[in-house]
Amino acid sequence: MTLQALAGAVEARVAHGGALSTEIEAVYAGDKMSDLLEHAGSRTLIVTNLANAQLLRVAELMDIPGICLVEGVEPGGELVQAAAATRTALLVSPYGLFETCGRLYGFMHAAPGEAV
């Protein structure tokens, strides 16, 4: 799945485009930087309620292509600038962490042609 397709699955607003055509193989949700460092990789979408510039340092370090903030949290200017500098897609889901992850899971595991 591409980041663009996953953004559509959760009705996310794109705060910064980054590389929306990047293929994603895994989604990891968390709110601890140490967990993100341990589980994220170059084909991972991070789903989190953390909305600070340090998050983009983790993304840059781990070569993470996309971050999805939850609950409609508006990323600050510093976060958007950091996303632009690292070419990281920054998405904003209107749903909470649980529902966002459930929608992503359903979308990624649906049979071809199956409605989600």
Residue 103 lies in a domain: no
Count of domains observed in the chain? 1
Residue 110 lies in a domain: no
pLDDT per residue of the chain (116 residues) written in tens, 0 to 9: 899 999 999 999 999 988 899 999 999 998 888 887 787 888 999 999 988 878 888 888 888 999 999 999 989 999 999 899 889 999 999 999 999 999 999 999 886 666 55
Residue 19 lies in a domain: yes
Q: What is the pLDDT of residue 103?
A: 96
pTM for this one?
0.91
Q: What is the pLDDT of residue 111?
A: 61
Q: What residues have CB less than 8 Å from 77, skipping those under 6 apart? A: none
Q: What is the pLDDT of residue 17?
A: 87
Residue 12 lies in a domain: yes
Residue 115 lies in a domain: no
Residue 13 lies in a domain: yes
Residue 90 near residue 18, CB atoms below 8 Å: yes
Q: What is the pLDDT of residue 36?
A: 79
First to last CA, the chain: 14
Residue 28 lies in a domain: yes
Residue 36 lies in a domain: yes
**Domain membership of residue 64 as a residue range:** 3-91
Q: What is the pLDDT of residue 114?
A: 63
- Give me the CATH number covering residue 60: 3.40.1390.20
